Amino acid sequence: MIAILKKELWSYFGNWSAWVIIAAFSLIGTLFLFFFDNDSNIFEIGAASLQSYFVLVPWLLMFIIPALSMKTFAEEQQTGTLNWLFSQPLKVSELIAGKFLSVWIVGVLCLIPSLIYLYTVYVLGVPAGNIDLGMTFGSYIGLIILIAAFSGVGILASSLSQNQIMAYLLGVFMCFIMYFGIEQLASYKLLGGADFILQNIGFYQHFLGFTRGLVDLKDVAYFILVIGASLVLSNHFINKKK
């Protein structure tokens, strides 16, 4: 698994793709938070808070994480190297775990430049330091866990696809449905009391608690269950390709 993890990380950072994704992610965040005239602009909000950033980031991750995960298995199958990996002395579960961790690590690294936003808001607050650090750090924990969930879904999409384009589109669609689609469907109140259950199937309600600074073990357990289910299903579909 460690060998696969190193190989995948080198494939991301060795050809500049990870650097470009991290830079693009940071640039888009900066433009929305400080320059564009929109509801996320910190200066227009008039409060020393990064909550608008934590609302924006999941939408960016829906497109970034599938872009990272689309190559994990779809590219291997497209180029014919998947059969070569099957012939190596490693389990499919180790192969999936190594690729999952690589996507997760690169996704988390996308958040590192946002510490500059945190410092900026901290300094610009009146008085300086007038920011809810508990809510902020809880939101960061939620983002790290959400990235892991999107990574698991992206790996599953790649294991189901024959090529990278299909893997990317399927990954974006699945991430969108899990984060926003289910929440919106539940908001129509079509199922009566079952709407509450439907809401809790999606990512949004569980991530929302983190953005309030609440690190609830139930929400953590939910995401661990989703990640585990995604990787188990990926293992099943990859084994079928042997």
User: pLDDT tens per residue, the chain (242 residues)?
Assistant: 788 898 888 888 888 888 999 999 999 989 988 888 877 788 777 777 888 899 999 999 999 999 999 988 888 888 878 888 888 888 889 999 999 999 999 999 999 999 998 888 888 777 777 788 888 899 999 999 999 999 999 999 999 988 899 999 999 999 999 999 888 887 777 666 677 777 788 899 899 989 888 888 999 999 999 999 999 999 999 988 77
pTM tops 0.75, yes or no: yes
Helix axes 92-109, 2-13, angle to 10 degrees: 40
24: CB partners within 8 A, 6+ apart: none
For residue 218, count other CB atoms closer than 10 A to its CB: 9
* Residues 41, 34 contacting (CB under 8 angstroms): yes
Buried b (16+ CB within 10 A) or exposed e, 116-131: ebbeebbeeeeeeeeb
What are 115's two structure tokens? Answer: 């510490």
Task: Find tokens 């599953």 and name the residue.
Answer: 156
Reduced to 3 states, what is the DSSP secondary structure of residue 171? helix
Q: Is 126 left (phi over 0), alpha (psi -120 to 50) or beta?
A: beta
What proportions of the chain, in percent to the nearest 5, are helix, strand and coil?
Answer: 75, 0, 25
CA distance 242 to 238: 7
Q: Is 213 left (phi over 0), alpha (psi -120 to 50) or beta?
A: left
CA distance 223 to 104: 14
